[in-house]
Amino acid sequence: MRVGIYPGSFDPVTLGHWDLIQRAAKLVDRLIVGVLHNPAKTPTFSLDERMDFLKTLSKDCQNIEIATFHGLLVKYARQQGAQFIIRGVRAFSDFEYEFQMALTNRKLAPELETVFLMPKEENSVISSRIVREVGTMGGEISGLVPEILRDRIATKLLSPK
């Protein structure tokens, strides 16, 4: 069985993330969308909210599993029996960082392959950071996040901290 992991913070999930999740699911028998739990960071959306967003989106997808992990990605990948780490690359600046991470992961776990996917052109400029910036200033986030989640994400971004 081909198992891939698409890790990220998904704070919040964007159309770019969802595009990559759907396309990655076609490449493997089982895709684990791993939501990173990093106690050193304070995300805008709680771990439960981020998990719920992704579960809502993937509820009809047979081979997509939403899970959380902490610590080293390669350790988690080994525990899950994964052969592939899926990473999204939007621009050259993303590639430089992702290339370094892929080489480090290869050094730590040579049996794991990193697979880079590019989002569709219309999603290539979307990032969670941009969604948070636009949303907290009351801007329209349609076209940046999945429509089914738009109101929930917008409400949270506009709520006082």
Which pTM value belongs to this model?
A: 0.93
- Mark the ranges of the chain whose per-residue pLDDT is less than 70: 160-161
Token output for 133:
């910036």
pLDDT at 125: 87
pLDDT at 161: 62
Share of the chain above pLDDT 90, in %: 84
Active site residues: 17, 41, 90, 128
Report the distance separating Cα 132 and Cα 44, nearest Å: 8
pLDDT at 94: 80
pLDDT at 160: 67
Exposure b/e, 105-144, CB count within 10 A at least 16 = b: beeebeebeeeeebbeeebbebbbeebbebbeeeeebeeb
